[in-house]
Amino acid sequence: MASLSNLNQLLHINTLPVTSLNSTPSITPSTITFGLQSKNARKSILVADGLRRVVYVRATANDDDDDEWGSEPSADVAVAEVIVPESETEKLKKDLVGSFYGTARGLKAASETRAEIFELISQLEAKNPTPASTDALSLLDGKWILAYTSYAGLFPLLSSGLLPLLEVEELSQTIDSESLSVQNSVLLAGPLTTTSISTNAKFEVRSPNRLQIKFEEGVIGTPQLTDSLEIPETVEFLGQEIDLSSFKDIFTSIQNTASSVVQTISDQPPLKIPISNSYAQSWLLTTYLDEELRVARGDGGSVFVLIKEGSSLLTN
């Protein structure tokens, strides 16, 4: 059996804490593993789990062992725990996104929750890995999903009571640094269709973190037919709850007719409305930016937290 000193040399580890084989690893097992082979023994001498941070080390070079990876840790296996702590920034990001739960993108956030969110945002901004975001426009590229905002101007839109039978499914901002364009979009979902309302704009770089935005046109997307008509049991309108259960038969009977109408409308191009008002401008200050999360501040001190489409943070 190879000595631990030789084993440590092979692993290029000067100090490696080794736990007893009978002890229980302190981190829950996962399923993703990677291995390292000894060049001389042609045997796997290390099996580690990137999420589990536990290393199984084979301390023997017996060529007669048919199980290359080792089905279970046995007497010739030492278990070492490698400490790979999560970075403070990653923890802050997860804590911040977790604090959005139940806030409806900020609409229903209580004052205590808002204070907690602002504190986490301030801590994250202090660790901004991109101090000059306009020098890294490629990081800004792509579709960003709004996760939280303190901008009161969006609250009427986020309130489902203002849009009977319609729900705000997604608010997003898509940036294209090559064309210097920005598209803000709201995706609305109803019982029969989905549609989008968006604004197209151009931006100019005004400072290392500030973009000046000039809106050019509004676009009302053509409704897209959903698979089937889904009518909720109740709907809230102007603060009052309306029971729709008695209308279900009526809604079902007109579904085919409505579907035909919606299909006809869906074949039409989107409606574009030019915006020629010289005052239709805004600015956006990026205070935190990495590959998956962005914090921006706008007029009046409002804050926006956006997550890049496809990021695992969207599922937290």
In-domain check, residue 252: yes
C-alpha–C-alpha distance, residues 66 and 48, integer Å: 20
Residue 140 included in any domain: yes
pTM: 0.64
Within-domain flag for 95? no
Band of pLDDT at residue 160, cut at 50, 70 and 90: low
71-78: average pLDDT: 50
Q: For a pLDDT cut of 70, what percent of the chain falls above it?
A: 59
Q: Which of 31-40, 57-66, 95-104, 216-225 has the lowest mean pLDDT?
A: 31-40
Average pLDDT, integer, range 269-289 = 87
Lowest mean pLDDT among 7-16, 275-284, 305-314: 7-16
**Residue 38 included in any domain:** no
The answer, yes or no, to whether residue 72 has pLDDT greater than 70, is no
The residue among 192 and 95 whose pLDDT is bigger is 95
Residue 117: predicted pLDDT: 97
In this prediction, residue 297 has a pLDDT band, given cuts at 50, 70 and 90, of very high
- The average pLDDT across 120-137 equals 95
The Cα diameter of the chain in Å comes to: 81
- How far from 79 is each of 55, 76, 88, 118, 147, CA to CA, in Å? 6, 10, 27, 42, 41
pLDDT digits (tens, 9 = 90+) for 165-195: 678 889 999 999 999 999 999 998 877 778 8
> Looking at the domain assignment, is residue 68 inside a domain?
no
Task: Give me the pLDDT at residue 227, please.
Answer: 55
pLDDT at 234: 73
* Between 125 and 78, the higher pLDDT residue: 125
Burial of 105-123, coded b for 16+ CB within 10 Å and e otherwise, reads bbbebeeebbeebeebbee
Find the mean pLDDT for residues 66-76: 50
pLDDT value for 18: 37
Q: Which tens digit of pLDDT belongs to each residue from 218-262?
A: 998 877 766 555 666 776 766 677 777 766 666 666 566 666 665
Q: Classify residue 89: in a domain, yes or no.
A: no
pLDDT category of residue 84 using cuts at 50, 70 and 90: low
Q: Which residue has the higher pLDDT, 10 or 108?
A: 108
Domain count of the fold of the chain: 1
Instruction: Kindly state whether residue 216 falls inside one of the protein's structural domains.
Output: yes
Q: 160 lies in which domain range?
A: 132-314
Does some domain include residue 300?
yes
Provide the CATH number for the domain around residue 286: 2.40.128.280
Distances (CA, A) of 45 to 31, 69, 78, 307: 18, 8, 10, 40
Sign for the CA dihedral angle at 275, 280, 281, 284 comes to negative
Judged on CB neighbours under 10 Å (0-12, 13-18, 19+), 227 is exposed
For the segment 129-136, the average pLDDT, to the nearest whole number, is: 94
Average pLDDT, the chain: 75
Asked if the model's pLDDT at residue 53 lies above 80, the reply is no
Tell me the residue type at 143.
K
- In the predicted model, is pLDDT for residue 131 greater than 70? yes
